[in-house]
Amino acid sequence: MKKQNNFILSLFAVLLIASCTSRDNVIDDVLDGVENGAVLRTTQVFNADIPLGDETAVWSIEIEYQDVLDGAGLLSEVRVYAGFKDNNDDGVDVNAAEVIFQTIPAADFSPGPFDLPRAIITLSAAEMLNAFGLTFDDTNSGDQYQIRLEVELTDGRIFTNTDAAGIITGGFFASPYFYNANVICEFERSIATDYNYVQYDMGAGDGSGGQQATGFGPINGTITWGDGGDISLVTTPDYSIGMFGFVWGDSPATNGMATIKWFCATLTPQGQDQYSDSYTYNITNVSGDTMTFDWINTWGDIGTVELTRADGLNWPGVFGSD
């Protein structure tokens, strides 16, 4: 029994040594890959995406510099570039070539937990768009701010994403040198609430999408958009927001469970009313707690609505609310 225990202990020791040796070899291989260069590790991502319409939005990360000397003396500076990629096929091309935004000298880096130089990089959406000659109105969900890092060493060598191998960009060092800050739709607050409305310039449709009479209104009242089970969906008791009752002397335009889909800066009525007509809302202005939109249905009924939140809160920033 004693011999058996000694054998097991000896075998465990051999396996332990083999395991440590194997792990050390992997790290050695990684270090061999960067022995003649440098890496910029991504240690923290504070803000990875840019919410659509948020003029205060920033992209921000923390990086750590490492080289064969453990960051002691080879780092000269890090340069930060950014460009813009238009991923929306809307007939308007707003792609922007990259420009340089920051130069971070070695002196601006501070020692991290492992005594390697670290720095925080922050770019605001506003400053990037200004440099590109674009505005927030030019951006849409799915577009990308493309950020690239470039490190220069004291001997003049330069490294960026085109120089880094896979073991560097996606492995232990997490050093891609290149980042996509996606433009996303962020649901800042629910739009399921009570509203006060004023509607004017209403017109009665002629059945073919045109109008047989126009100039009705104004009217005013209140309407409640209810919770549709998802923050991006609300229920409505009347697609026409009072127009059917005022112009036609009819019951509200609904199908019993009428809903409106909220996507980014758009509101899209879902389904059809009791006459199988569908609706389109076209937002023309948002200021604070009031949204103005024109609507039309497939029969040709039309109207312009000013919809004001009864709770006094502003419409979510994604709508471009002032």
Per-residue pLDDT tens digits for 103-119: 999 999 999 999 999 99
* Position 92 confidence tier, pLDDT thresholds 50, 70, 90: confident
Q: Is residue 7 predicted with pLDDT exceeding 50?
A: no
**Category of 71 on φ-ψ map: left (φ > 0), alpha (ψ -120 to 50) or beta:** left
User: Is the pLDDT reported for residue 72 higher than 70?
Assistant: no
Q: Do the beta carbons of residue 218 and residue 199 sit within 8 Å?
A: yes
Distance CA 224, CA 241 (A): 10
The model's pTM: 0.62
Phi, psi values for residue 106, rounded to 5°: -55, -35
The residue among 147, 178, 140, 118 whose CA lies nearest residue 58 is: 147
Q: Amino acid letter at 134?
A: L
Cα Rg, the chain, nearest whole Å = 30
> How far apart are the C-alpha atoms of 314 and 322, rounded to whole Å?
8
The C-alpha atoms of residue 23 and residue 192 are separated, in whole angstroms, by 56
Which phi and psi (to 5°) does residue 161 adopt? -65, -25
- Rounded to whole angstroms, the Cα distance separating 184 from 190 reads 17
Q: What is the pLDDT of residues 212-231, one digit of tens each?
A: 999 999 999 999 999 999 88
pLDDT of 287: 95
Mean pLDDT of 46-58: 91
pLDDT of 321 reads 66
**In which band, very low, low, confident or very high, does the pLDDT at 71 lie, cut at 50, 70 and 90?**
low
pLDDT at position 27: 38
Mean pLDDT calculated for residue range 289-308? 98
Unique residue bearing structure tokens 């002397």: 249
Q: Which has more pLDDT, 230 or 128?
A: 128
List the structure tokens of 44. Answer: 């923290």
